[in-house]
């Protein structure tokens, strides 16, 4: 189960898209803690183990996707 987190960066036309193994609720809690002023960095780990650090002052927006199992193969709808 993977959750996609999209982060808009100020002064950048592209967004950062991360697939993480966190649940949707845990990813949202991490983002909320960072944006509430408790932390200076938003720290996430993607599904391959890479660590991503984003300065909170550079975050324009964050979109946390829902947790869902990916279906693969014929008949997947």
Q: For position 49, which CATH number holds?
A: 2.30.30
Between CA 52 and CA 59 the distance in angstroms is 13
Residue 30 domain-assigned? yes
Between CA 77 and CA 72 the distance in angstroms is 9
Range of the domain at 10: 3-64
Number of domains in the chain: 1
Beta pairing class for 41-45 and 15-20:
unpaired
The tens digit of pLDDT for each residue in 7-51 reads 999 999 999 999 999 999 999 999 999 999 888 999 999 999 999
Residue 27 domain-assigned? yes
Residue 59 domain-assigned? yes
Residue 18 domain-assigned? yes
Residue 28 domain-assigned? yes
Q: Which of 18-27, 51-60, 67-76 is predicted with the least confidence, judged by mean pLDDT?
A: 67-76
**What confidence score (pLDDT) does residue 29 get?**
93
**What confidence score (pLDDT) does residue 6 get?**
95
């Amino acid at each position: 189960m993977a959750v996609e987190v999209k982060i808009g960066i100020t002064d950048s036309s592209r967004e950062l898209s991360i697939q993480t193994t966190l649940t949707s609720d845990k990813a949202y809690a991490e983002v909320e803690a960072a944006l509430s002023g408790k932390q200076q960095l938003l720290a996430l780990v993607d599904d391959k183990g890479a660590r991503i650090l984003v300065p909170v002052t550079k975050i324009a927006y964050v979109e946390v996707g829902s947790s869902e199992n990916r279906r693969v193969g014929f008949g997947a709808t």
